[in-house]
Chains A and B, each alone.
Chain A
Amino acid sequence: MSEVRAAVERCVVDGMLSWSDQLTTAQTFGVSVAYIEAVALERGILPARYQRNRNMLNCRDQLCLFSSHVAVVGCGGLGGYIIEELARLGIGHLTVIDPDIFEEHNLNRQLLSTPADLGLDKVAVAVRRVAEINPAVTVTPVVKALSRRNGCGLLAGAQVVVDGLDNIETRLELSEVCDTLELPLVHGAIAGWYGHVTTQMPGDKSLHTLYGRKCHQKGVEGSLGNPSFTPSLIASVQVAEVTKILLNYGEPLRHRLFTIDLLDMECVETPL
Chain B
Amino acid sequence: MMNITVKLFANFRVGRFKEAQRNYPKQTLCRLVLQELYITEEELGVLMVNSRHANLDQELKDGDTVSIFPLVGGG
Contacts and interface: CB of A to CB of B under 8 A. Distances in A.
Given A77-B75, A261-B9, A219 B46 contact: no
Q: Which of B10, B42, B73 has the most CB of A within 10 A?
A: B73
Contacts of A270: 46, 48, 51, 67, 69
Given A264-B13, A264-B18, A194 B75 contact: no
Interface residues of B, number: 21
Contact of A224 (B11, B45, B46): B11
Interface stretch (A16-24, A47-55, A158-166): A158-166
Interface string B35-46: 000000011011
B46 A191 contact: no
A146 to B, nearest CB: 13
Contacts of B73: 166-168, 171, 189, 191, 211, 214, 217-219, 221
A74 B75 contact: yes
Tell me the dominant secondary structure on chain A's binding face.
Answer: mixed
Contacts of A218: 71, 73
A194 B72 CA distance: 8
Nearest to B73: A219
Interface string A230-272: 0100000000000000000000000001010101100010110
Contacts of B42: 217
Interface in B11-56: 11, 13, 18, 42-43, 45-46, 48, 51-53
B52 to A, nearest CB: 8
Interface residues of A, number: 41
Given A191-B70, A209-B53, A220-B43, A259 B75 contact: no
Contacts of B71: 168, 214, 217-220
Contacts of A211: 73
B75 to A, nearest CB: 4
B54 to A, nearest CB: 12
Contacts of A188: 75
Contacts of A102: none
Given A194-B11, A220-B11, A259-B9, A210 B46 contact: yes
Q: Which of B11, B42, B45, B52 has the most CB of A within 10 A?
A: B45
Contacts of A167: 73, 75
28 contacts: A74-B75, A76-B75, A163-B75, A164-B75, A166-B74, A168-B73, A191-B72, A192-B10, A193-B10, A194-B11, A194-B70, A195-B72, A211-B73, A217-B71, A217-B73, A218-B71, A219-B45, A220-B43, A220-B70, A220-B72, A221-B72, A231-B75, A259-B10, A259-B69, A264-B13, A264-B18, A268-B9, A271-B51
Interface of A: 74, 76-79, 163-168, 171, 188-196, 209-211, 214, 217-221, 224, 226, 231, 257, 259, 261, 263-264, 268, 270-271
